[in-house]
Structure 1
């Protein structure tokens, strides 16, 4: 029986992934952890408070709960990382190395997310290939690129079964935005349902690769459940679902809420977005382990506008 530890379980991805892992393996076999106090979304799980930079505490939790897999999601995202680069680098890198060392010592399977932030100004912007120029110019992207090299190193040198995806922007409705450059595509739905105009911090024609949270969970679990001999890439796989601009997401919302309006006031996050691809070639993931998304922009928008209203009052009280 698998025993799974989720690090960063209180975050946007972490809370939804924890619940899906509980559905697959049973809540009693999934341990949620975070540096923060537990949130209501993971109240049905055993919770351990954990600063992933504390290697001894991490090892204690792994041994206490007989952990076999770790999903390491704790990180400082792009926009917040630029506000405090040394802090972001230290947390992102030390946390990953602690997890990899624990995996080596305890023969664990590891999931660690990378990001399209590993690409940069010299990367081909359209249909960015799996193997290409990578020259990130944000501390988040630099730490993710370094992390990819460490993951492959631990697999090649020590046999660690580490697996990773380069997430595009993730869009979900079950938690608030978490400080990423692509988080405008989460906040915009909140404004639309509150009948408020939306001021976007990116220009209207800024295309970025995106993915609905349901597809992100699907991709993560598909990868982790694939046979080891199907996993040919041990740095990180490209995955893709949707590419759209702020103007296009506004148009998708207006199909259901015609009175919704948006304005555009680009800030420092525009330069971050301009260094990332417009679209991603994920043919390697499709060929190796059968990746395929379920949601396009209109289907995602309809699902969010149907389900988010029930949670708005909860967010306002938080």
Structure 2
């Protein structure tokens, strides 16, 4: 886990992908120190302190405790490597065919509690348990993830409110955690998910992606990218889903066996039968923003009450 957000002098949050590599004019939310954008080819892109890393950030890097969206970019459900491999084996041999799984086949208790449910003395995969193996539909994935995201938001707001009420010295850190989480949530809510059909020099493949721009502008950009690899490119929009930026990475996880990289372009897929994929996408319910999500969407900053120093 790394620091992915810095703040401008106007109080606007900037993601690491929105800035150029090198020293920036951004400062750390936790200490106010200047930040440098680290955007190499080995480590994840992140901000580091231009001078010495502050204690709050250093602690969060060590403990991987930066606030993050549940089930957004990691689908292993906190399983250790050995547990994850056992789960994959169970799914391949039993779950995918809906065969009953007896308790003696499962030798890690945490999975029994969270990822399996008992039925007639045997066990079956829960919706949560299907996520690591990419077996959960996109619609059900949303139903699992969205409540977890809102629960985390409420938890961070409560923690900051309690720190404020008790005048705790940890209040600035609690507020910084909340602001970073809200920025991540706002980022995915602002994005629309798109699915494209691409015909290029006699080949047929597909692209998943997200955008905050007009889809026509994004398609024109994709055509320019593909023209570096193909002479004749036709792009058709098959679907567009507003406020569904949360789905893109799970789609890539679920359909990774069909990934079709083109040079450095990695969001392309080839499907022998795309109908089931389209059904998966179109079965997603239209996103209706909750009151909490509307609040996040309408405000770049946040405040727990009018006494906080960073108004919208």
Assess same fold via TM > 0.5. no
Higher helix share: 1
Give TM-score scaled by structure 1 length.
0.31
Give TM-score scaled by structure 2 length.
0.31
Greater RCO (CA < 8 Å, at least 6 residues apart) = 1
